[in-house]
Amino acid sequence: MSWMNGLDDWIIVLGALAAIACVLPGTFLVLRGMGMMGDAISHAVLPGIALGFFVSGTRDNVWMFLGAAIAGIVTAVLTQFLHRMGRLERGAAMGVVFTSLFALGLVMIVQAADHVDLDPNCVLYGAIELAPLDTVMFLGMEVPRAFPVLLVVCLINLVIILLFYKEMVISSFDPDMARSTGIHSGLMNQVLMVMTAATCVACFEVVGSILVVSLLVIPAATARLISDRLSIVLVLAVIVGVIGAGLGHISAITVPSWFSSDVEDTSTSGMMAVAAGVLFALAWVLAPRHGLLVLAIHRIRLRVRIVSEDVLGFLFRFEERGESMSVHNIRQTLTSLADAGPLASRLAIVSLKRRRLVYREGSVWKLSDAGRARAVEVVRSHRLWETWLWRQADLAADHVHGQAMRLEHVTDERMRAELEIQTGSVSQDPHGRPIPAGDSEGEDGAAASPPGD
């Protein structure tokens, strides 16, 4: 790799600025379920850009902006029209509009190929690698021409969001509520569309239309996975966007050379999108509250708790019948009666042993005193539920077991007391087995059933 001071610095700065500019409207697009709107607008501005050329005859930014912004608004309005009046699903409406406009733009550009040098490639992929070479004087410094443009867009987006923060938030989460509090939710929508369109155009030259989509959506979605608070999501999204831009450029000039000595670097804008995607994948797996890993751990822990409660219940019932449960037996029982896999069974037994709720005597599992107390609770919940379902919910006696099997794991002492009152403190479940008495310390007098009844 070759790090050219200045040049590479500028590329990262421009990428980061583009990311910040895109993230601001992008977060609200993601919130509103309009993530693909960025894709639609970024394709559909092509005829607007071409029109800007025809009118002005130059690659003047102002005309391009104007044309593209108009095209962006037209896209949003047409999509809305087809969705509402044409009764098309929103995605399909978007698809119809933006592919048509893109085709129109292509025809216009090819038709005018003699008059203007507009390369559709440039619109698609951008040319961030070349951007630092095209410089202007700005505040007495020589900076890339794209720098002041992106800076201004960033500032404008920031100002709009700060000004209309409350309105934007309410109309994104609950348009009806927004309308009822006098916020013009349609107007906010239009503001967002114009902002998106203008941002897309400003970023095209630098990063291309596809990367714009990735910057609009990926950092916002990544941040959304990490946090549930909008203000934090916005800040996180900016950070993710900037890191993605930096990582993207660095990997563009380093990664290819790992594989082949012939290749020095590759497209920075492409790698920025990839880097953003990688960050998203990381958040998807590792996010603190909604990440796949955390969810998997939760699920496993819940499963182990349920299976260990089942083990206690089985041991209690065996004891009740005067049988003992061998090490081999317990696996079979768990697989056939509690539908527990080998891993969950093993983990459950390990956890029970560690908490000293069960112990092993020769080849037989036994309940410790603490274990028996817990087992009584489980079996009591089970049989109370069976009775309740049979008496109060009119379920057939041979159908209540499965339900009770599920409910016993979410039933606490207060619920048990309530169940006992509602079932009239009977002493036997529908199958004729005794309902064990509750722990008399944990409940009030009304719920305690006389022992040996």
Partner 1 sequence: MDTFWRVLLLQDYNTRLVVIGTVLLGIAAGSVGSLLLLRKRALVGDVISHATLPGVGVAFLLMVMMGGTGRWSIGLLLGAAIAGVLAAALVLLIKRTTMLRDDAAMAIVMSAAFGLGIALLGVIQDLPNGNQAGLESIIYGKTASMVQADAIGIGIAAIIVILISAALYKEFRLLCFDDHFAGSQGWPVTTLDLALLLLGTAVTVIGLQAVGLILVLAFLIIPAAAARYWTDRLVIMMVISSLLGAASAWFGVTISALVPRMPAGAVIVLSASAIFMLSLVLGSRRGLLVRLIRARGIRHRTNRQHILRAIWECEETSGKVCRGDLLKRRRWTQREVDRLLRKARSRGEIESAHGEEVVLTETGQEAAQVVVRNHRLWELFLIRHADIAPTHVDRDADEIEHVLGVELVQELEAALGPEGSLPSSPHVLGEASP
- CB crowding 70-99: b at 16 or more within 10 Å, else e: bbbbbbbebbbebbeeeebebeebbbbbbe
43 vs 416 by CB, closer to partner 1: 43
Sheet with 358-361, side-by-side order of all strands: 325-326, 364-367, 358-361
Nearest to 266 by CA among 275, 75, 325, 237: 275
Q: Shortest Cβ distance from residue 90 to partner 1 (Å)?
A: 9
214 vs 333 by CB, closer to partner 1: 214
Q: Are 17 and 205 in contact (CB under 8 A)?
A: no
262 vs 369 by CB, closer to partner 1: 262
360 forms beta bridges with 365
157 vs 267 by CB, closer to partner 1: 267
Nearest to 372 by CA among 317, 450, 302: 317
Q: Are 122 and 207 in contact (CB under 8 A)?
A: no
DSSP string, 224-274: HHH-S-HHHHHHHHHHHHHHHHHHHHHHHHHHHHHH-TT-----HHHHHHH
Q: Shortest Cβ distance from residue 95 to partner 1 (Å)?
A: 4
Angle at 168 between CA 167 and CA 169, to 5 degrees: 95
Q: Shortest Cβ distance from residue 403 to partner 1 (Å)?
A: 21
Q: Shortest Cβ distance from residue 183 to partner 1 (Å)?
A: 22
Distance CA 328, CA 396 (A): 33
Q: Shortest Cβ distance from residue 230 to partner 1 (Å)?
A: 14
36 vs 239 by CB, closer to partner 1: 36
Helix (H, G, I), strand (E, B) or coil at 437: coil
32 vs 433 by CB, closer to partner 1: 32
Sign of the CA dihedral running 214, 220, 226, 228: negative
Helix (H, G, I), strand (E, B) or coil at 164: coil
67 vs 270 by CB, closer to partner 1: 270
Q: For the chain, what is the total number of helices (H) and then of strands (E)?
A: 17, 5
120 vs 442 by CB, closer to partner 1: 120
159 vs 286 by CB, closer to partner 1: 286
Q: Shortest Cβ distance from residue 443 to partner 1 (Å)?
A: 40
Q: Shortest Cβ distance from residue 36 to partner 1 (Å)?
A: 5
Q: Shortest Cβ distance from residue 98 to partner 1 (Å)?
A: 9
Q: Are 428 and 434 in contact (CB under 8 A)?
A: yes
Nearest to 122 by CA among 45, 57, 40, 206: 206
Q: Shortest Cβ distance from residue 50 to partner 1 (Å)?
A: 12
Distance CA 334, CA 330 (A): 6
Contact positions toward partner 1, by CB under 8 A?
30, 33-39, 43, 82, 85-89, 91-96, 99-100, 102-104, 106-107, 110-111, 113, 120, 124-125, 210-211, 213-214, 216-218, 220-221, 224-225, 252, 256, 259-260, 262-267, 269-274, 276-277, 280, 284, 290, 292, 295
